[in-house]
A and B are shown apart, each in its own frame.
Chain A
């Protein structure tokens, strides 16, 4: 089983994520595969995503931490060329939370939203709120 020879680093990170979770963020490893995490991030207050809960799946590849965690379609520089092995799961999740408070239109999380954002910020905020209501609330 892969879990038996899990690197010390992943074990330590997991322990800390569980014992001292960052506010608004929960990350728990799957029982079958300790490299696979279910993540939930609360939409930050004062942001268009307030009241939403964002569910993500995070996977630590074999090369982790030399390679970044895999997070599906998330546009975050530290997951790409800015990754450093000294970054951690916690730092990645905090960055995503920050991204939800202030999306960066030049590094689009969703191309559509980003386009909107540049063209008309107010309208985009409404769209984001609407999407939060429709898809990310009431968990």
Chain B
């Protein structure tokens, strides 16, 4: 319907090169949403540059960057510029202009990374401002009152361009449909008294109130009529004259004159909500208690949005953000989980018997590497209960915990009595995927919690974790590193949180990946396995190794610097693995279509190609990474 549909956008834009920007380009930071925290989950900067319409502003956007698997390097496609016509997409452009103005007065510098977003997070003040701007614009262009403009926009679901189109095509028809009259249809001859059309009482003319039509009603009947409508719900925004033959709209001006403060407030909330709910480009953030809304620009790019409240959700289906898995798969998976919830409760249990000594071991960390309490000290994988030492090795050096068939062959499912009860293969298969999905979710929440603790006010001032140990400040003192140089720890945790989310959803993807698509499945499981193995190393390093530096009395500074190099390296390697995985799934695993297997991917065929999968895996795991980081 609107030409803003033509606007494309991109996400996950990292570190754009300087030459992507014209001289006018400015980064506007979203001051009022910012807590002053350098490590915000979201980065709601917008980049505005001028092109063709220097005064209006346009959005400059690119498709997501491409990652080539064979080199492990990041390549970018050419920049694409989509001009947003100010007349079609006026409010957002004006809004961005305002943000840019604010940005000019901002002394706080955001991260050097410039990002373009295909959505904008809106606070209540932003929404009111946008609504006000749209209303004013329509009022000016059509030369009608702002109240009339507001009624008109409500009928047209707040599409300024649609209002303009229809109005100038056939103004009379629009006026009739919406109930905007320029001349009253009812005139009182010079009567002393007029009868109210509801209570049938007669009143002097000055006690009678009418909408634009002139149909006479007394103020107490109006009050009753409007209050009932407001109590009934947002339908009051479309209120018409009580006369059944009339249909003239009753606007906010009349309502504000007649009703109680409480009802005025309710009406104004409905109006605000309508601007979000009746507009197909905006939605409320679905997080409980969150009052932000998101304006989304359709086009290229994923549906994932990150609200200022830190909740990430899919704009399309409003479930938790699930890139790179498609909405349909997510819906199927959620329904499946609901149907199986009784069978699966035990999976969420926090303890499992040690595969060696059978004592119950509680999982209180995020990573899957478990160590039984002394004297057993057996190290095993929480998910498959296999020995951790052999975890990547037993199938010839490649990670297979994520594969249903392989895990099953190990016979590890016999370990648990519950599992033995699951006679049906289908349930067992589902269990495999569900457990990994659910455990990654739990692990993600744990990581969010850990990061929160690290970032909390309390942490920064008193710097005590639950064990009473000093954390970041202690590191600052101990290794004489300024706090800013400890950002690598936060970055690692942010990466872990994001990766746990992606990994979790890839298990829903894996469950629905058709079994007969053998090559795709192998490629998928390989990429997933690589990513997962990397993430486990990263998570373990950020979680356990870091603790050693915090808790132990003496560690040489040089060791801490080595640790920094390792964690930073693992963060970047894991990031690459996951980017590969996301890329592969978003392409629908098209890279392994028959013709591409042979030619362009010589370097990586050994990574997943049928016959060679038992050898040479160790090498491909480290592709693009610093060999010194390998454990």
Contacts and interface: CB of A to CB of B under 8 A. Distances in A.
Contacts of B200: 8-9, 12-13
Interface string A77-110: 0100000111100010000000000000000000
Interface residues of B, number: 14
A85 B198 contact: yes
B197 interface: yes
Given A66-B224, A66-B225, A85-B221, A91 B244 contact: yes
Nearest to B201: A8
Nearest to A87: B244
Contacts of B243: 84, 86
B104 to A, nearest CB: 51
A9 B244 contact: no
A86 B199 contact: no
Interface string B218-246: 00010011001000000000000011100
A137 to B, nearest CB: 33
Interface residues of A, number: 14
A84 B201 contact: no
B228 A84 contact: no
Interface in B411-441: none
A21 interface: no
B274 to A, nearest CB: 18
A7 interface: yes
Contact of A86 (B197, B201, B224): B197
A65 interface: yes
A13 B197 CA distance: 12
A105 B421 CA distance: 55
A85 B201 contact: no
Contacts of B225: 66, 85
Interface in B207-265: 215, 217, 221, 224-225, 228, 242-244
A78 B217 CA distance: 20
B199 A84 contact: no
Interface string B612-623: 000000000000
B199 A7 contact: yes
A8 B242 CA distance: 19
B260 to A, nearest CB: 16
Given A85-B221, A86-B243, A91-B244, A66 B228 contact: yes
Contacts of A91: 244
Contacts of A12: 200
Interface in B170-228: 197-201, 215, 217, 221, 224-225, 228
Interface in B577-617: none
B196 to A, nearest CB: 9
A106 to B, nearest CB: 20
B236 to A, nearest CB: 13
B313 to A, nearest CB: 33
A7 B198 CA distance: 11
A87 B200 CA distance: 12
A91 B243 CA distance: 12
Nearest to B245: A86
Q: B198, B224, B225 — which one has the most chain A CB atoms within 10 A of its CB?
A: B198
Interface string A23-62: 0000000000000000000000000000000000000000
A87 B198 CA distance: 8
Contacts of A7: 199
A53 B503 CA distance: 72
Contacts of A87: 244
Given A8-B201, A9-B198, A86 B228 contact: no
A84 B224 contact: no
Nearest to B202: A8
Contacts of B221: 85
A78 B244 CA distance: 10
Contacts of A67: 228
A115 B243 CA distance: 33
Interface string B541-584: 00000000000000000000000000000000000000000000
Contacts of B199: 7-9, 65
Contacts of B215: 86
Contacts of B228: 66-67
A5 to B, nearest CB: 14
Interface string A1-20: 00000011100110000000
Nearest to A83: B244
A46 to B, nearest CB: 26
A91 to B, nearest CB: 7
Nearest to B227: A66
A66 B225 CA distance: 6
Nearest to A81: B235
B237 to A, nearest CB: 15
A87 B215 CA distance: 13
A78 B225 CA distance: 15
Contacts of A8: 199-201
B354 to A, nearest CB: 64
Nearest to A10: B200
A12 B199 CA distance: 10
Contacts of B198: 9, 65, 85-86
Q: A66, A84, A85 — which one has the most chain B CB atoms within 10 A of its CB?
A: A85
A84 to B, nearest CB: 5
B371 to A, nearest CB: 66
Nearest to B222: A85
B249 to A, nearest CB: 14
Contacts of A86: 197-198, 215, 217, 242-244
A9 B200 CA distance: 5
A92 to B, nearest CB: 11
Contacts of B201: 8-9
A77 to B, nearest CB: 11
A66 B224 CA distance: 7
A61 to B, nearest CB: 13
A99 B323 CA distance: 54
A60 to B, nearest CB: 14
A85 B242 CA distance: 6
A84 B229 CA distance: 11
13 contacts: A7-B199, A8-B200, A8-B201, A9-B200, A13-B200, A65-B198, A66-B224, A85-B198, A85-B221, A85-B225, A86-B197, A86-B198, A87-B244
Given A13-B200, A85-B221, 10 more contacts: A8-B200, A9-B201, A12-B200, A65-B198, A66-B224, A78-B244, A85-B225, A85-B242, A86-B197, A86-B198
Interface of B: 197-201, 215, 217, 221, 224-225, 228, 242-244
Q: Which 6 A-B pairs have the closest CB atoms?
A: A86-B242, A9-B200, A85-B198, A12-B200, A84-B242, A66-B224
